[in-house]
Structure 1
Amino acid sequence: MGLLGRSWALLVGLVGVRAEWYDGIPSVQVFGPEQQEEAESFFRDHYQKYRQAEFSAARQAVLLKRGDYNFSFEVPFYTSVAGVGLGPNEVTVRSFRVPSRLPWQQGGATKTFWRSVEGLNAKETCLWATSQACPLRRSIIHGDLQLSGFHEDEKTLGPSSGGFMADVDVKGTVLLGTQQQFLFRNSEFGHVNLKKNTNAYNTVYVGVKGTPETHEINAPQMVSSIPKTERVAEKPFLVEEMGHWFVSVPNLKLDSVGSRQSAFAPRISIEEMYVARAGDTASSINVGIQGKKGLLLTPGLYEVGEPIMVTDPGFVILGLGFPTLVSKGALPAIMQMADDARVAGILLEGGAEVDEIPRTDALLLWSGHGGVASDIFARVGSFKYENTFHKPCTAKRANIFFEVEGDDVVVDHTWLWHADHDDCTSRWPDSLSAVSCQSQNALLVRGKRVIIYGLQAEHTLEDQVVWYGEEGS
């Protein structure tokens, strides 16, 4: 916040009106149940504007306070929708939807990325025709959950290539449809349909109640079922209570089964978090987090010319609306050196120019022991957006996306992607990103007893995953 902004916040406080942490941040929209028409209108307009914006620079978080919202909504690119009640039963909507955005011949939902929903209680059937980097968390669905869909008037389900879901209770049927792969963790399902309109190749159920039974080892619908989740903590999340805001940080659980794993968690008040906004840099963030217990990254693109340094045990980084850290140098974007830290909901982007920097360190270097990384997404590619720290359509480099040196770390969902397509060229698979950008490995694990759920890594130019650590899974 600049001098004028902070002076205004002080003036507001003096005249008796409390300034909210999200004041002056247009990429964060907060609605209460008394604002139904305004909220529904925002969702409708926002979806129409960004439903095809695969490489847009826009980022958005929509936060719904406790109450009943009698409408359905769609979720476009780079948008997170979250109920901010203590539990999902406190924020009710009719349904949420992500339709298949492309015709069947153009890939259906296989290019539907970067969006999320969490903390909602949906009364009706929901559609989540998505692929990578689209986590669905901490929610209740009273109807069915459809994981693939039709494009407009087409009669054939479009392809889809997800995905990840955790701490979700589906009272009806989970319809896999065309999902090529999916990981379900700590959830509860009324039924999973393996037959009708289904050609799912590989589904994994970890600590799930309602796992489908199949006895055909070589069936197209390959099913892996792990009865208990060995070690995990659910992703931190925002809570609003009587006008006060907190970040809830769920505890680590061992051998857990079923949903509702995030209840009764410790809290950090919003005053103990540094709230970063677009315009902040790694330098200003490092100053801002001194003496704080956490960092809240609001939606936006951030220039990272030096590492964000995490050194305090138990420190929490929580991103809203896919905040994107664009790494400009050879050093990591984040150096996580603290024990038992939490990092969640971030998109790391390799922004170093190939012609200027011969090699880069990991975008996220995790050397602290313990802790949990949730929804960690990374990419390198040539993209058209332009600002003061990103030249459009030039070759970029990121040698390592994510490196884990610490022991006993849990990683809960990743998509680590060397782009095979972009918005600079229409050629596929010979896009500018695929031909000109440089990468090495998506994930490098050196620590012992590292556990990863929902590891997705694609297209890096050398081994996608290199794992030296012992006793991991």
Structure 2
Amino acid sequence: MADANNTLLGPNVYVFDPSMPAGAVQEQANKIFKQMEANEFGPERYSLLFKPGTYPVLFDVGFYTSVAGLGQGPDAVRIEGGANVPAYWMPHMNATCNFWRSYENLAINASDATNKTTTIAISQAAPLRRLHITSPNGLWLFQVDPETHAGGWASGGFMADSVVDNQVLPGSQQQWLSRNCSWGSWANGVWNMVFVGCANAPSGNNWPTDPYTTVDRTPLVREKPYLYLDDAGRYAVFVPALQRDTQGPSWTEGRHTPGRSISVEGGEFHVAQAATSTAASLNEALRAGKHILLTPGVYQLDEALQVTKAGTIVLGMGFATLIPRQGNTAIKVADVDGVTVAGLIIDAGPTNSPYLMEVGTEGSAASHAADPTFLFDITARTGGAQAGKNDVGIVVHSHDVVCDQLWLWRADHGPGAGWDSNPTKHGIVVNGDNVVAYGLFNEHHEEYQTLWNGQNGRVYFYQSEIPYDPPSQERYMSHGGTVNGYASYKVADGVATHEAWGLGVYSYFRDSPVKAENAIEAPADGRAGVKIHRMTTIWLNGQNGSEISHIINGRGSRVYGSSPEEAQRQTLKEFP
């Protein structure tokens, strides 16, 4: 469909119009899915955008593919057929590797061909935002084998600012975060389901039998900016307003999401293409005060992108990917107000980078409480697509930063994955005060997955697998070699105030029978200002003799190999 990708957004963006033949739209979407269904580490990137209208089409969504509507609100674009994520490419319908795809700003009504069910079987880094699922049989978050009717595993996900008219069935979905959503009903949970600011969340009163953690209101949020067509039919980016103490979606009951519009075609955005953009050209645009729209592709950077002006937006489409090539940081954000960085994969390059992303500078002290910086839908990835090295995925020096769906992943599989070939110490280090995270997924780093040094941090949902591949206990020791392993979640000794809800830490010590003394560490005196609610540890698999010995600071029983089933999951309700 030459007309669909002949736009200012470049050849990897397909813009569909309801006047186009439905068969041709479906054929193009299916062609991309066939290419991307099992393309876990390929360089291809795609965005499928739908202008306002109704589309009688049925298609599936594969890796590195974003599907989005171009209306002001989700109901402006309606898929009358289906848009699903299946897991047929993995044995046993396993969706635990169904990463890097997204849905945003549209309505889906499933047809008879999909049993009137929308199936989105996803795991990390596959956000669902601003959706209206009207399918009669609701939304399933896992894949059912059509022959055996068994459900394949899925491993974590994120849904925000969305409505499901009927039931949400997680099935075998192990963990999930929902923020500012509503639905007809929520069917079940497995290990760790967290609900923040949802209009009708399940009760958390029967935890851990029902693995629900419910926070009534979202304390501080700005929904992710999105591309749409303004009243003149021109591309613009809508920037939702900052909101406090919210419950439910921002756009229901005939309301539009509050916010402002910035023209793309009027020169306020620099539209980047991976084939022609360089770090120098992108930085030139940033210095000129432009926002950046990174169209789908892989951007090789020989220096950091420098975001120095308050209010700048860097918005990636179709999982645009940045790779630092010279041991540089990929993107640096100055200690200024109101920056937004969204929709990116940042891959470690062949030369070790100290950070893949840096927010603020060391010693940053300014308050940004009135206009925080937001990080949306960012993957910091070490290894997987290629061997890479870095010390830290994301470091946050600035105060008042909000993180909304981050996956900080040291690859456990793929090219170059190995203890000595894709080393990284920490997924995230937080030095700033008043930093908030909704949906922090952080996995496989060789030391603390999360190191929190700032005051008054808040985390709503944490999912972490500690590394699979320590070669020996001697090489996996913390506290100067005196403590087995590293905690996944470390609140530093100098922190006086910190609070977190719904933490799941899992082990699969694949390569040696090592132990981790604690899943979580907090200041040892159990000070009242540090509070952790609803903790879960899981022994997924691993060599006999491997274990997580305690949940937090020596409290909570171990999960370990060669154990009865009841010892493979442990929970603790509160700390201290």
CA contact (8 A) 1:418 1:434 kept: no
What do the CA deviations read for 1:258-301 (whole angstroms, capped 9, x no partner)? Answer: 01257132111102100111121211111133334410000000
Aligned to 1:405: 397
Aligned to 1:88: 74
What do the CA deviations read for 1:151-177 (whole angstroms, capped 9, x no partner)? Answer: 453421000002101001000001011
Q: Letter of the 1:186 partner, please give it.
A: N
2:303 aligns with one of 300, 303, 306: 306
| Residues 213-224 of structure 1 mapped to structure 2, 5 A cutoff | 213=203, 215-219=205-209, 221-224=210-213
Moved more, 51-60 or 282-291: 282-291
CA contact (8 A) 1:74 1:97 kept: yes
CA contact (8 A) 1:103 1:151 kept: no
Aligned to 2:343: 345
TM-score, normalising length: structure 2: 0.71
CA contact (8 A) 2:37 2:89 kept: no
Q: CA deviation at 1:46?
A: 0.9
Aligned to 1:128: 120
| Residues 35-434 of structure 1 mapped to structure 2, 5 A cutoff | 35=20, 36-94=22-80, 95-105=82-92, 108-124=94-110, 125-143=117-135, 144-151=138-145, 153-194=147-188, 200-213=190-203, 215-219=205-209, 221-241=210-230, 242-260=232-250, 263-270=257-264, 271-279=267-275, 280-337=277-334, 338-353=336-351, 357=352, 360-367=353-360, 369=368, 370-383=372-385, 395-422=387-414, 424=415, 432-434=417-419
Q: CA deviation at 1:103?
A: 4.6
Q: Distance in 2 between matches of 1:154 and 1:364?
A: 45
Unaligned ranges ≥5, structure 1 = 1-18, 384-392, 425-430
Q: Distance in 2 between matches of 1:382 and 1:114?
A: 13
CA contact (8 A) 2:172 2:190 kept: yes
**SS of residue in 2 equivalent to 1:45:** helix
Q: CA deviation at 1:68?
A: 0.6
- Higher RCO (CA-CA < 8 Å; seq separation 6+): 1
Larger Rg: 2
Q: Distance in 2 between matches of 1:185 and 1:468?
A: 26
**SS of residue in 2 equivalent to 1:41:** helix
CA contact (8 A) 1:101 1:112 kept: no
Superposition CA RMSD, Å: 1.7
Q: CA deviation at 1:181?
A: 0.6
Q: Distance in 2 between matches of 1:341 and 1:282?
A: 19
Q: Letter of the 1:278 partner, please give it.
A: A
* Greater strand proportion: 2
Aligned to 2:469: none
What do the CA deviations read for 1:116-139 (whole angstroms, capped 9, x no partner)? Answer: 000111123311100000000011
Q: CA deviation at 1:434?
A: 4.5
Q: Distance in 1 between matches of 2:420 and 2:73?
A: 46
Unaligned ranges ≥5, structure 2 = 1-5, 111-116, 459-576
**SS of residue in 1 equivalent to 2:358:** strand
Number of residues of Structure 1 aligned to a counterpart in Structure 2: 425
Are 1:464 and 2:449 an aligned pair? yes
TM-score, normalising length: structure 1: 0.87
- Identity, in percent, stands at 36
Q: Letter of the 1:211 partner, please give it.
A: A
Q: Distance in 2 between matches of 1:78 and 1:278?
A: 15
Q: Distance in 1 between matches of 2:25 and 2:384?
A: 35
Q: Letter of the 2:38 partner, please give it.
A: Q
Q: Distance in 2 between matches of 1:213 and 1:43?
A: 39
What do the CA deviations read for 1:393-446 (whole angstroms, capped 9, x no partner)? Answer: 5x4201110111111110000111000000x4xxxxxx7344521101000001
